[in-house]
Amino acid sequence: MSKYNKRLRVLSIGNSFSVDAMQYIYEIAKDLGLEEIILGNLYIGGASLDDHIFQIENHLSDYLDFCSYKHKIIY
């Protein structure tokens, strides 16, 4: 297996549910034996799909963000 087969990179754009999902994704990837797991999340608490569309159409960036690398949160 090459080093690329042991790598997972995920970027989610969502709300507080996407924050919760990142924890599950990390645990699943770790259990599968992946060695490099990088998770990024842009989120607005309680945001709907329409809220995200509004953000894009109006060039806004009200997002909170974080990246997780080696299970450490980097803001």
Q: What is the pLDDT of residue 1?
A: 57
Express each pLDDT in 15-71 by its tens digit.
989 988 988 998 999 999 998 899 999 999 999 999 999 999 999 988 888 777 766
Q: What is the pLDDT of residue 65?
A: 84
Domain with 61, as residue range(s), is: 3-74
Total tally of structural domains belonging to the chain? 1
Name the β-bridge partners of 40: 11, 67
Contact, 24 vs 12, CB < 8 A? no
